[in-house]
Every structure is written in C-alpha cells, then in structure tokens.
Amino acid sequence: MIAAPKRRCLGLPSELRRPGARRGRAWRAVAALLILCSCGQDPEVSFEDTPTAEPGPLDPLYSGCAAAQPGPRCALGPEDALRVWVDVHPERPVTVTIDGAPASGVERDAVAGGQRLVFTPPAGARWLELRAPARAPFVMELRPAAPLDPALVEVDELDLDGDRRGALARLDAVTPGLSGAARADALRLRGDLYFRSEDNERALAAYAQAMDALVAVGQLRAASDVALTASFLCSEVLLDLERAAGWLTRHEALLERLPEARLRHSYYRGLLGERRGDLRAALVDYQEHAALAEKLGLWTDVFAARSAEAVLLARIGREADSAAALERARAVGDAVPLEMHGKLLNNTAWARLLALESGRPAADPRPLLDEALALLGPGGPAEDPASAGHVLVNLAHAAVLRGDVDGAREALAALAGRTLDLRPGLWRELIVGRLALLERRFADALAAFERLDLRAAESGGWDLAWHAAIGRGQALEGSGRPREALDAYAEAESWLDEQLSRIALEGGRERFSGTHDLGARHATTLLVARGDLTGALCVARRARLRAHERLAREARHRLDDPAARSRRERAFDRLARGRAAIEAEFERSWTLPRRDGERLRATLAARGDALRRELDAALADLELAPYAAVTCDALARPEPGELLLAYAPSVTGWFVFADDGVTLQVTALSERVVRDASAGLEGWGAALLDPVADAIASAQRLRILAAGPLLEVPFAELPLGDARLGARVPIVHALDLPALAQADEAPASALVLAPTSNLAHAAEEAEDVAAALSALDLDVDALLGEEAVGVAARERLIGLGLLHFAGHARAGAGPWEAALEMSGETSITVADIIALPGPAPRHVVLSGCETGLVDPAASGGGMSLAHAFLVAGARSVLATDAVVDDARARAVIASLYAALVELPELDLAAALQAAQARAHADGDCDDGLCGSFRVWVR
C-alpha cells in the first residue's frame, strides 16, 4: 500500500473533515476538545470502586409540576408526568422509588452526558426518591395539585368564552372574600385578563401584586409564570427594557428554589438581550435554553429557542449556522403544534431575506412564505391572523428586494386594515418607503423613512434605525441632495459601529460587519460619482476592516496604556493560567477510565469556553474613541514604488482603486464581470487586473486590499499579459490596520517551533531554517519535538524579530478554534495570540495548513492565525490558505529562506516571489500550491 502524502494540518475523522483535508498527526487532540470519541478501555472495576465518582448530592433539573414550592415540593394533577434530568453518566444506574417502591413505567434516555427520566407518579403518591452510586439521594415531596377555587372557576369560564369584561366584573366581586393561595390565584388571573385585553399598565400592576402573593404562599411555578409574562410584556410589547430587566431580576431570585426556572429564565433573558442589541448575550441565552430544554424533552421550548437562535444567526451573517439551527428545530417534528411549523417556515424565509438583502446568495423565500400563509392564513389548518400578517409583510419585503412593484403593492394591499405587532408594523413602514423608492417617489419615500426613524428610535430597534438611515440617504440622493445623503449614510455607519461592540468576535462580528455594509456601498458609490475619490477610498477601507481595526486598536491601547492593561489584566492572566491548567488536565484525562475521562474532558471544554467568553467581554468593553472618529490618516499610505489596489463593493458591482501615493484612479467593475470571472484564473485576470494594467506596469510592489469573495482569489497566479502577476512584482495582502510606530531597532532574536508530529520533513525544515536565520545574524533559539509545549512556546513569543512554525495547524470552524498544534495536548490559539502581554513577533512564517484561511463572507477575511498575529502587532506574516503537502511545503520554505538570506532586509514578500518562481520552474504549482502561500501585512 502506498502511504498518503502527509499534510500540514490536523487530521480529522472523515465525517468531520474539512473539504480537502488529509491525514496528519493522530486526531486525538481534536477529538478530546470536541468530546467526539472515547479512547482506551475501562479497567475491571465497578462504578463504586471508580476513584473519580461524581461528587456532591444529586441536583436534578425537573419539569411538570402544576405548582412547585421550596422543600422541594411538587404538586401534580392525576395525569401529570414528571420530566427529570440527572447529571449521572448514562451507564451508571439511577433508581427511582415512589413511597419506597420502585417506580413503574420510567422512560430513560441518555442525554447530554446524563439521563432523562420521564414517569407519571400514581395518584396519592407522597415521596419521590432518586439514587445513584456515590451520590447523596434527591428526595421530593409530592402533593395533589389544588383545584382552582370554586369562586374563580366561573371567572375562568367567562374568560374562555371571550367575555373578559364580565370576567373582570366577576373577579372584582369575589376577590375580597379570598385569602392565601386563592387570593394569589385571583391576582394572577386579573393580570392575565388585563394582558389579554391589552390593558398593559393595569396588567403589570396586577402582576406585581400577584408575584408577591404567590411567593408568599410558596407557589413558585406560578410566580415564575407571572414574572416572565411581565418581562415579555415590557420587552416585546411596551419596549420598556428597563422594566423588563427589573422583572427578570425578580425572577432570578427564584432560580435556586425552582430548577425549572433556570430553563425558562435564559430564553426571556435572550429576548431582552436581543431587544437591547446585545446579540452576543442573546445568542448564548437561546443556546442555553435549547440545551436545557433538550435535556428534559420539552420540545416546544426547544423549537422556540432554535428558531430564535436561527434568526439571530442569520442577522449576523452566519447562514450555515442559522440553517443548522433551523434543521434542529424541524427535527422536533410533530411534537409541536402545526401553528409553530407555520412560524418556522416564516422564520426560515426571513433568514433568506436577510441574506438576499445583504447581497449574499440564498434560495427564493417565496415558496416558504406561500406555504406558511396556507397554514396560518384565513381558512388554513392553523389559522392565526397575527402570524399571517407577519407572513404578508415578508412577502412584500421579498417583492421589493426583487424589484417587483406589483407584487409589493399586492402584499401591502392584503395588509390593509390589519393590526400588526410593533416590529412587523415597523417593517411595513420600511417596505412602504422602499416601494416609493422603486417608483421614484422620493418625497414620499423620505417621509416614510423619517416616520420609521422616529418610531424605531422610540422602540429601541437599532436595525430598523439603520435601515431608515440608509433609506433616507437614498431618498435624499434621488432628490438631488447629495450632502444630506452622505450624512444619512454616515449615520447608518454609526449605528453599525455601535452594534459591532455588542457582538462577540467568535459570534460573527466581522461577518456581521460584512453583511451590513450597505451604507458604505452607497456612500462609496456617491462619492465616486461626485469625483471625491479620496473620500470614496477612505469609506471603502474603513468599512472593509472595521472589526479587525477595532480589535487591533484595543491590543495596541492595552500595551501602551498601563491603566488599560490593569483593567484587562484579570481576563488575560486568567486565560494564560487557565489554558495551561486545562492542557495539563486534558493530558491526564487519557490515563483515566473511559467514562471518567469523558466527564473530565467535557468539564475542561466548558472551562475553556468560559475563559474565551471572559476574554471576549474584556475585548468588547473598550473605552476608546468611537470608530467614526478614526480617519484614514491612520491607515497605511503606499510606500515609494508601491501600488495599492483596493477592490471595494459598490451599489451595483465593484470598484478597483489604484493608488501609487501620487495618483489615485478608480475603475468600475460590474457584478456580472466579477462573477463570470470566477470560472478560472484567465477570467479573474481579465476582470481584476486588465483595468489597472498600466498602473501595475510601473509598480515595484503591490499591496492588495480585497474584500468578500475576492479574498479567495490567488492574485499572484493571475495572468497579466504574458506572465503571472506574481512573476512581475512582489505582492502583499493587507488587513489595512493602522500603521505602527517603527521601533528604533528591529529585535535580533528568532524562534523556531517544530513540535512532535508525524510530518517527516518538519524537523529537517526546522534545522534548515535555524541555520538560515543564524546567517542573518539573528540570535536563534529552537523548541523542537517534546520541548515545543504550548505553555513554554506561548511564553517565548514576546518581542521576537522572527517566528517560524513548522507543523500541524487547524483552521477550526470558528475564529477562536484556529490553532498551531504543539506537543502533547497543547496548542497556540487565536485567543493566545491576541492576548499576548507584550509585542508580537515582528515577522512570522507559519508553515502549516490553512494558517491564513480567509472567510469570504466576512468583510476583511475573518479571523485566522495570520490575522491574529497582525492584530497583536506583527508587521508581516507568511501563511497558507489551503491544505499543504509536507514535502512540497519544505521545498517552498527552503527556497524562501535561500532568497531571504540574499536580500538586504527581512522582506518576506520578495522572498516568497523568488520561492514561487522556483516552484513554477520545477513544475510544483500545477495544483495551486503556489497560490496558497501569501504574505499578509498590517
């Protein structure tokens, strides 16, 4: 058998492998981090003999009590089923006894590393007990659910018949004679009646009284219902976010006494977070709610949380993750009412509309909307007028996006006379304005957008305010008022900037920026039309990398400002110390029995997630000048002999700006030309290079600023005339971060990292690189084999002149997951690099797979290992954007350093140009190897 060539990436099992990946080192480390496999065999010991049995008493999560009280006590109706999740490994026995006898009919499922138990206690049962080995038992008193007081039954029946006025009158008559639990029920019922009558302030007043009364009599489940209903009313109907937060604070007091409240709290906290614009927190809350609901098998809750998660992910540009969340919601199937499926169809269509609106490809939403309307509309099997109104708004939205004036008018006409909830009503106003733009009724459009702007500001809907600002800009532009239009587009950019700080880096900050660049596109296009090329290029550059630029400013600020360092010291120190401890424990986990190793690795993964969240919060909480205050003067200007080529999206296609520091030119490229050119290198060359061929001819060096899908273009391999672009001139790809002050003297130290791996040529490469660096009069040190442990390597990165890494790397599914794999179970991650407490290496060579992988859905390419080093302060980074063969990578690197030794300074771009020329001459570039290497600069 011929062995497959080794690749400088971490191998994964085939079902998890990224496209194009190959076998590398053993995939045990990734399996550990993802908790996807179990390794080794258990020794012959019983559970009772296992030295790492779960500590502490059983503390189950449970649901199903008609009423819950401290104790714990659970009130049950005659047919009520209890759902219990216990944190006990599925292979360990859990016994369920009721009044001392084994419970019958217990359904058991292994869920989330524990066990879900579903059973119906018999009538008259008094005590429930759960036991597991080496754990203190859980005991709960069972009681029959108290029936509704007879005086309130009539009130309830009147309400069910739709006679709310009569129900309230009857309630007023009977309440004075009630006390204890009956009075608490009456107060709650009063709040519900006012809520359903849309008498919101009276509802909140009644709920406040009911909450106190219910807690006083120990009816905690009912108190939880009241607090969450009131929070929903404040956040979703009244948009009074301060009062909504107050109700959630009251509900938080129930969490320790009512386990089920933990589940429900996270969902409503997510709703409030989304209303506040704190999308980072909202996403975490929805995911937490779904995870807890899945443990208990509460499928309606799972469905709602996954739907909310999917729409939020679509809003920040994470379409693949959004689609996955929608599929998880659909998997619930018949466990939820048909009405919810109709809403899910509408939500799925909404996600597609968001993608189409930002210029991303997506399927036509109309079939889903038509199906939803058939379910929810008049005569449908799940008729729901309010939800049908939402669907009609989306149908009008879809028509406007495709320029269908008649279709938009028809959908808006179907909405005539309907009362819509607040947000669908605001979206209808937006669509009215957009339809007026299509019909060139600019005065009507401006009036509609100004109405929307006022209402959106009152409602706290930042996204609608952003849309309103862009719409006002378009209407003003169409009315011949360009200066005012530019002010409106700048306002839209300010809304976006404010929102970016509320989105986690790992939550899709840069994708969100890339999918909300409409204001920048309009401003760039208008400035070009007015002949202000410098202003247009400034807008395009700032929009392209605003997420990275903000993070880089924070990193520089933290290093330069002792006060800033002090503010974040705790998060960064905790990350460094916590990462070292986690890696050591991961290594130890493989020596434990399988089940105990799995449990420890799951715990460690959760600890790692918590550390990353803490770091992200520290990075987000910046006390810096707002983005809008940062001008293009801080961005790099072309050096003598250098040509800057900036490819920026316009309203209808693309611009290419050519700036040599003296002359600035711009050429418009149509969207069709760029898309058609994607078929091959020749097409790309003709579309992207031919329009600026004259400017390139006189350049000694190229600085490429690409965006979106153009980030994946291998510019060095594109033909220009009779030669490759890379053969004509050295090329760097720029993040466009603010220039750093030049140090008086470049650091004279270098470090070579070559961890233990199955790569036959990595060690040889390290030796050759160390020799070449010594010839450059650098003080060279090396960590090879087992010496290259993550903890030691991370400590050595500060203040280097050059870092060279030869080994396995992984790009990961998200920005925080990219890592250089070190020996053992250790690594150097994006978070480690960004959190460096001192200057990053000045120059970096990352000889591993996908160390510079770009995300074409992000404005500036997303986060990668290469980008992380630049954000942390590196001047240049050589990295790859694809899988790299071990032997051929060594050949490229050997040529690179051979050229570097001959150059007057450490110029990675010029050295790479020489190495690529040698590889082409040797016939080693046929499969795109040469194009996968590129040099990134700030």
Per-residue pLDDT of 530-553, as tens digits, reads: 999 999 999 999 888 776 666 666
Phi-psi region of 756 (alpha: psi -120 to 50; beta: other; left: phi over 0): beta
User: Which residues pair with residue 880 across a beta bridge?
Assistant: 933
Per-residue pLDDT at 43 exceeds 50: no
How large is the average pLDDT for residues 644-649? 95
pLDDT computed for residue 923 by the predictor: 81
Three-class SS of residue 130? strand
Per-residue pLDDT at 835 exceeds 70: yes
Give the whole-angstrom CA distance, residue 483 versus residue 491: 13
pLDDT computed for residue 719 by the predictor: 94
For residues 40 and 654, the model is more confident at 654
Structure tokens at 466: 């952003």
Between CA 620 and CA 629, with CA 623 as vertex, the angle to 5 degrees is 100
Of 482, 475, 492, give the one whose Cα is nearest residue 439.
475
Q: Above pLDDT 90, what percent of the chain?
A: 42
Are 115 and 94 in contact by the 8 Å Cβ rule? The answer is yes
Tens digit of each residue's pLDDT (9 = 90 or more) over 116-139: 999 999 988 999 999 998 888 999
Give the whole-angstrom CA distance, residue 863 versus residue 831: 10
Structure tokens at 331: 């998997």
Tens digit of each residue's pLDDT (9 = 90 or more) over 289-346: 999 999 999 999 999 999 999 888 877 767 788 888 888 888 888 888 888 889 888 9
For residues 571 and 178, the model is more confident at 178
Residue 23 confidence class, pLDDT cut points 50, 70, 90: very low
Per-residue pLDDT at 22 exceeds 60: no
Q: Which of 37-41, 197-201, 406-410 has the highest mean pLDDT?
A: 406-410
pLDDT computed for residue 520 by the predictor: 92
Tens digit of each residue's pLDDT (9 = 90 or more) over 880-889: 988 888 888 8
Structure tokens at 736: 């466009």
For residues 683 and 26, the model is more confident at 683
User: Which residues pair with residue 61 across a beta bridge?
Assistant: 85
Three-class SS of residue 864? coil
What's the whole-number average pLDDT of the chain? 83
pLDDT computed for residue 13 by the predictor: 25
pLDDT computed for residue 563 by the predictor: 55
pLDDT computed for residue 802 by the predictor: 95
Three-class SS of residue 415? coil
For residues 9 and 346, the model is more confident at 346
Are 87 and 54 in contact by the 8 Å Cβ rule? The answer is yes
User: Which residues pair with residue 738 across a beta bridge?
Assistant: 635
Torsion sign across C-alpha atoms 565, 566, 567, 572: positive
For residues 827 and 791, the model is more confident at 827
Are 353 and 365 in contact by the 8 Å Cβ rule? The answer is yes
Give the whole-angstrom CA distance, residue 540 versus residue 531: 15
Of 473, 532, 528, 465, give the one whose Cα is nearest residue 494.
465
User: Does residue 72 have a cis bond before it (omega within 30 degrees)?
Assistant: yes
Residue whose structure tokens are 């391999």: 717
Of 913, 909, 915, give the one whose Cα is nearest residue 895.
915
Encode 491-525: b = buried (16+ Cβ within 10 Å), e = exposed: bbbbbbbbbbbbbbbbbbbbbbbbbbbbbbbbbbb
Between CA 725 and CA 729, with CA 727 as vertex, the angle to 5 degrees is 70
Per-residue pLDDT at 37 exceeds 50: no
Residue whose structure tokens are 């203190």: 136
Q: Return the DSSP state at 187.
A: H
Are 408 and 435 in contact by the 8 Å Cβ rule? The answer is yes
Phi-psi region of 113 (alpha: psi -120 to 50; beta: other; left: phi over 0): left
Per-residue pLDDT at 51 exceeds 80: no
For residues 489 and 629, the model is more confident at 489
How large is the average pLDDT for residues 29-39? 24
- Of 75-89, 552-566, 657-671, 837-851, the least confident: 552-566
Phi-psi region of 189 (alpha: psi -120 to 50; beta: other; left: phi over 0): alpha
Give the whole-angstrom CA distance, residue 912 versus residue 729: 11
Per-residue pLDDT at 831 exceeds 60: yes
- Total-model pTM: 0.72
Helix (H) or strand (E) holding 790: helix 790-795
Between CA 687 and CA 695, with CA 692 as vertex, the angle to 5 degrees is 160
Query: At residue 180, what are phi and psi to the nearest 5 degrees?
Result: 60, -135
Of 705, 708, 712, give the one whose Cα is nearest residue 734.
705
Instruction: Name the H helices within 297-421.
Output: 299-315, 319-330, 338-357, 366-376, 385-401, 405-414
pLDDT computed for residue 548 by the predictor: 67
Tens digit of each residue's pLDDT (9 = 90 or more) over 763-786: 889 999 999 999 888 899 999 988
Q: Which residues contact 319 (CB under 8 A, 6 or more apart)?
A: 313, 351, 355, 360, 362, 857
Residue 937 confidence class, pLDDT cut points 50, 70, 90: very high
pLDDT computed for residue 35 by the predictor: 21
Residue 686 confidence class, pLDDT cut points 50, 70, 90: very high
Are 646 and 659 in contact by the 8 Å Cβ rule? The answer is yes
Beta-carbon-side half-sphere exposure of residue 197 (alpha carbons within 13 Å): 20
Q: Which residues contact 286 (CB under 8 A, 6 or more apart)?
A: 266, 267, 270, 305, 306, 308, 309, 312
Helix (H) or strand (E) holding 85: strand 82-86
Between CA 424 and CA 430, with CA 426 as vertex, the angle to 5 degrees is 110
DSSP states along 506-526: TTTHHHHHHHT-HHHHHHHHH
Three-class SS of residue 185? helix
Per-residue pLDDT at 276 exceeds 50: yes
Between CA 110 and CA 115, with CA 114 as vertex, the angle to 5 degrees is 55
Query: At residue 809, what are phi and psi to the nearest 5 degrees?
Result: -140, 160
- Of 598-612, 645-659, 712-726, 863-877, the least confident: 598-612
How much of the chain is in helix, strand and coil states, percent to nearest 5? 55, 15, 30
pLDDT computed for residue 575 by the predictor: 66
Of 290, 295, 254, 206, give the one whose Cα is nearest residue 68.
254
pLDDT computed for residue 814 by the predictor: 62
Per-residue pLDDT at 629 exceeds 60: no
For residues 580 and 438, the model is more confident at 438
Query: At residue 810, what are phi and psi to the nearest 5 degrees?
Result: -135, 140
pLDDT computed for residue 599 by the predictor: 74
Residue 899 confidence class, pLDDT cut points 50, 70, 90: very high
- Of 195-209, 431-445, 625-639, 703-717, the least confident: 625-639
What strands, in cross-sheet order, belong to the sheet with 809-810?
809-810, 819-821, 827-829
Give the whole-angstrom CA distance, residue 271 versus residue 269: 5
Residue 197 confidence class, pLDDT cut points 50, 70, 90: confident
Structure tokens at 723: 């030669």
Q: At what angle do helices 241-252 and 259-276 cross, to 10 degrees?
A: 160
Give the whole-angstrom CA distance, residue 720 versus residue 727: 10
